[in-house]
Amino acid sequence: MDDYRVIADELAADIAAGRLRPGDRLLPLRRFARNRRIAGSTAARVYRELSRRGLTVGEVGRGTFVRTAAPAAEPALAEPGGARVDLEMNFPVLPHHPALLAKSLEHLVRPDALAAALRPVGAAGTAVARRTAAAHLARADWAPDPGQLLFAGNGRQAVAAAVAALVPAGERLGVEALTYPVVKGIATRLGVTLVPLAMDEHGLTPEALRAAAPLRAVYVQPALHNPLGTTMPGPRRAELAAVLRELGIHVIEDAIYGFLRNDLPPLAALAPERTVVVDSLSKRLAPGLSLGFLTVPTGTTQDFATALRSGTWAASRFALDAATRWMADGTAAAIEEEKRSDAAARQRIVAERLAGFRVRADPRAYHCWWELPDPWRADTFVAAAARRGIAVTPSGAFAVGPGHAPGAVRLALASPSVDTLAGALDVLAGLARGMPEDSAPE
């Protein structure tokens, strides 16, 4: 057995026996290596192995600690939790929206219409669906070409198909250093290597893209980044588009939350020949009956259609026809407009209830990034919040690289009622103002 695994087994036994307790800080790497008389690289492998087993968690500038809560099941953020207040999953469905959606479906349940909706359909959908979707997805000065639109079952399947079409197994996909957790699971299943790319306050940096080359593609979230909630400004988008052209790299642009910032065009408006725009109705309308969209570069439709078919990720005809109806009769547009107002209102509640803390977010996002005050760490805070019936997501769920995750949590704002959200934020604010030991169970 490798030396590093022997040492990791010893530390794991100490944790199991209680000699190392939840919340205990491990020695800094150099000191650990010196005490054990092992190489620094071996010490690093020991700490990585403990993290892989879910026994420890690391945070930037704070060190490595024995976990105080069990790691989240993979894939992260895949299923609703059982907490009384869910600030982990974003399900933006306002109370009267089901009635609006049901009214539009009255035509679809007629026998003749339903007969058509029960037939199979290809990845390209129907001509009517493509024209309707292209008009609905347009924003700012950009509109997709109906001939370049394809349909998936949902946004996750659209992302999976885009990765499968662009990145062969064993090749490298660049992603922001903090990214949508489902992308990590998709990459694992497809045998794709993720390469974390540095970010600053404006998002992915062009220099990071150059430094990481060669890449087969890059996945980015320019609008209302998940988890940071920030939006890439126009000048940075232009720089990024120029570098994509320079390096000959395709970009998968996740625009799932882009409808909340419909004043900004996607990267496809700047580099259409390099950009695949992925979108869906999960956040726009509802997750229970969704539809995914791929707007692909000219001349590549067949490649992406093949990926959709091979992964069985294409949309069903019923979902396609239902979504087409909602987009055509104005129901989707009306619901999206209400959600833009709702998201802005919830961000105002965050600004009020978490005043004085370091919170990052676009004021129109349905989530925010909370940089926790010392001495709180992400896993201890998540565990303390859970004991109060509130589910939040630790930074580690979004971290891609092998380094430490920041001491932060993401708050998803869409699922609870406004009053419940305000009350939960008051509880979390009070928790953050205290000390971790004050929150531990007796």
| pLDDT tens-place string over residues 319-345 | 999 999 999 999 999 999 999 999 999
User: CA-to-CA distance for 397 and 390, rounded, in angstroms?
Assistant: 17
Mean predicted confidence (pLDDT) in 127-156? 96
Amino acid found at 182? V
User: CA-to-CA distance for 228 and 179, rounded, in angstroms?
Assistant: 9
| Predicted pLDDT at 70 | 58
State the pLDDT confidence band at 397, using cuts at 50, 70 and 90: very high
User: CA-to-CA distance for 392 and 321, rounded, in angstroms?
Assistant: 36
pLDDT of 442 above 60: no
Mean predicted confidence (pLDDT) in 108-133? 86
| More confidently predicted of 154 and 114 | 154
User: CA-to-CA distance for 286 and 415, rounded, in angstroms?
Assistant: 11
Question: How many other β-carbons are positioned within 10 Å of the β-carbon of residue 289?
Answer: 17
- Please give the span between the terminal C-alpha atoms of the chain, in angstroms, as a whole number: 40
- Whether the CB-CB separation of 141 and 269 falls below 8 Å is answered with yes
CA distances 107 to 136, 281, 326, Å, are: 20, 20, 11
Residues paired with 64 in a beta bridge: 58
**Ranges 10-14, 116-120, 143-147, 236-240: which has the least confidence:** 116-120
User: CA-to-CA distance for 27 and 40, rounded, in angstroms?
Assistant: 13
Model confidence, pTM: 0.82
Which of 7-16, 50-59, 113-122, 273-282 is the most confident on average? Answer: 273-282
State the pLDDT confidence band at 403, using cuts at 50, 70 and 90: low
pLDDT of 73 above 50: no
State the pLDDT confidence band at 115, using cuts at 50, 70 and 90: confident
Amino acid found at 100? L
State the pLDDT confidence band at 29, using cuts at 50, 70 and 90: confident
pLDDT of 396 above 80: yes
**Ranges 52-66, 165-179, 332-346, 422-436: which has the least confidence:** 52-66
Mean predicted confidence (pLDDT) in 426-442? 82
Which of 16-30, 84-98, 99-113, 170-184 is the most confident on average? Answer: 170-184
| Predicted pLDDT at 75 | 40
User: CA-to-CA distance for 147 and 149, rounded, in angstroms?
Assistant: 6
- Whether the CB-CB separation of 290 and 152 falls below 8 Å is answered with no
pLDDT of 36 above 50: yes
| Predicted pLDDT at 127 | 96
User: CA-to-CA distance for 115 and 40, rounded, in angstroms?
Assistant: 67
| Predicted pLDDT at 112 | 75
DSSP code, position 23: T
- Whether the CB-CB separation of 359 and 350 falls below 8 Å is answered with yes
| Predicted pLDDT at 77 | 43
| More confidently predicted of 50 and 349 | 349
Q: List the one residue out of 65, 34, 49, 35 whose CA is nearest residue 4.
A: 49
Helix (H, G, I), strand (E, B) or coil at 230: coil
User: CA-to-CA distance for 425 and 388, rounded, in angstroms?
Assistant: 12
Mean predicted confidence (pLDDT) in 233-260? 95
- Whether the CB-CB separation of 47 and 38 falls below 8 Å is answered with no
Q: List pLDDT tens digits, range 366-377.
A: 999 999 999 999
Q: What are phi and psi of 200, to 5 degrees?
A: -130, -165
**Whole-number average pLDDT of the chain:** 89
Residues paired with 80 in a beta bridge: none
Q: Which residues make Cβ contacts (< 8 Å) with residue 1, sequence separation at least 6?
A: none
| Predicted pLDDT at 16 | 81
CA 126 to the chain's CA centroid: 29
> Residue 330 — left, alpha, or beta (φ > 0 → left; ψ -120 to 50 → alpha)?
left
